[in-house]
Amino acid sequence: MELAMFNVSHGFTESVVRGLRSGFLGPEDYRRLGSCDTLEDMRSALEETDYGTFLQDEPSPLLVSTISKKCYEKLADEFRYLKAQTVEPLSTFMDFIAREKMIDNVCMIIQGALNNKAPKELEEKVHPLGVFEGMKVIMSESFDVQGGFDDVYRIFLVDTPIGPYFEEYLREADRDKDDMARSGIETSQVGGILTKQDLEIMKTSLKKAWLEDFYGFVQSQGGTTAEVMGHVLKMEADFRVLLVTMNALNTSLSTESSLQDRNALYPNFGYLYPEGTKELRKVFNDTTVRAALEPYSKYLQLFDQVKDFYDSESGGRGAGFQSIEDLIYAENVHMYEMAFEQQYHFGLFYAWVKLREQEIRNIRWIANMVVLDKKDHIDDTIVPIFQPRM
């Protein structure tokens, strides 16, 4: 079935993405970028790649943040172009991809609203991939901060695709806080909950909800999509568990009282789920993390490579050490590259977006190193995409 019907609806978009694949920077491009002395050099070096003249209109002096912002905009442009070509169910799939960024944007807007930030300023900070309709309303001048929570609530909860995650989260949070509000959330309470909640935790749990939802969606698609994306998302869920665990080490989140907060952030699927996650729920320091990861040789290996960085006693938490993120990026890139190896599935689109994000991170890193004149650090951090295999 799949073989026969896939190309009818999605053949064109798939081929576009496969075409875009060749737009990734090659080793030659990285070398050229790495040998730049200023950001101006980088601008001209990037002009020779698929990024083209996207920085042309930027005034000098160029800033690192401008470069990465423009890169994201370009990615968003291409993403929107692709999305316009899609039909169901691929459009929904694309929506899911964008939702992760929507969560970021929403959190950012809430944060800004709490601090009475001007909507204009907020507008500049939004991630171009996560722009959605209702956002423009909040950005409009009439957005009144004092009574604003109701607006925020209405817009996010009702009008956006990420509304359900929000609702789930708020209900969860509310249940934690007091048992009385079982009946659901009154609009007026939302403001109170939002101010009380740690936004960072909120964001992470929203993302967890998103990941779970996404997983459910790809499973419902069946076929190769479910197979490839299932694997990808399971890995991501595992990595998320790892990341949360590792990053919570040595912070207040690893104390007895807030373990529950942390554990709420673990996604309810993945290869680690349920046994591994169950073990990890109990960990509170690096030794226990290691013990919990014992049965999973792959993750254990990752952990061992970076455990110096998280060791509270060594005190050697310098910038030179690799963190878990670095390794996971490398793992992810490998995983996403593999997604290109199969045909007739949606994982390709997800992988493409993720790889582009990694590439932008690479560019940003190179730009930073060029500015800081630490170019010898370029090669040991970036993860080149689609390296020619030996």
Note whether 365 binds other proteins by CB under 8 A. Answer: yes
Site for other proteins in 369-388 (CB under 8 A): 369, 371-372, 374, 377, 381
Residue 31's closest CA among 380, 330, 378, 369?
378
- Contact stretch for other proteins (CB under 8 A) within 5-13, 165-173, 249-257, 289-297: 249-257
Return the number of the residue (112 or 384) whose C-beta is nearest other proteins: 112
- Contact stretch for other proteins (CB under 8 A) within 148-156, 266-274, 287-295, 365-373: 365-373
Return the number of the residue (250 or 288) whose C-beta is nearest other proteins: 250
Using the rule CB under 8 A, which residue among 125, 171, 231, 375 binds other proteins? Answer: 125
In whole angstroms, how close is the CB of 316 to other proteins at the nearest point?
A: 10
Site for other proteins in 198-237 (CB under 8 A): 198-201, 203-204, 207
In whole angstroms, how close is the CB of 300 to other proteins at the nearest point?
A: 18
Secondary structure of the chain in HEC code, one letter for each residue: CHHHHHHHHHHHHHHHHHHHHCCCCCHHHHHHHHCCCCHHHHHHHHHCCCCCCCCCCCCCCCCHHHHHHHHHHHHHHHHHHHHHCCCCCHHHHHHHHHHHHHHHHHHHHHHHHHCCCCHHHHHHHCCHHHCCHHHHHHHCCCCCCCCHHHHHHHHHHHCCCCHHHHHHHHHHHHHHHCHHHHHCCCHHHHHHHHHHCCHHHHHHHHHHHHHHHHHHHHHHHCHHHHHHHHHHHHHHHHHHHHHHHHHHCCCHHHCHHHHHHHHCCCCCCCCCCCHHHHHHHCCCCHHHHHHHHCCCHHHHHHHHHHHHHHCCCCCCCCCCCCCHHHHHHHHHHHHHHHHCCCCCCCHHHHHHHHHHHHHHHHHHHHHHHHHHCCHHHHHHHCCCCCCCCC
- Contact stretch for other proteins (CB under 8 A) within 25-33, 106-114, 154-162, 228-236: 106-114
Using the rule CB under 8 A, which residue among 83, 171, 290, 361 binds other proteins? Answer: 361
Note whether 334 binds other proteins by CB under 8 A. Answer: no
Using the rule CB under 8 A, which residue among 99, 127, 234, 345 binds other proteins? Answer: 127
Using the rule CB under 8 A, which residue among 15, 195, 251, 342 binds other proteins? Answer: 251
Map residues 20-39 to x or -, x wherever contact with other proteins holds by CB under 8 A.
--------------------
Note whether 10 binds other proteins by CB under 8 A. Answer: no
Instruction: Give me the residues that bind other proteins (CB under 8 A), please.
Output: 59, 61, 63-65, 72, 104, 107-108, 111-112, 114-117, 125, 127, 198-201, 203-204, 207, 240, 243-244, 246-253, 262, 265, 309-310, 317-319, 321, 323-326, 357, 360-361, 364-365, 368-369, 371-372, 374, 377, 381
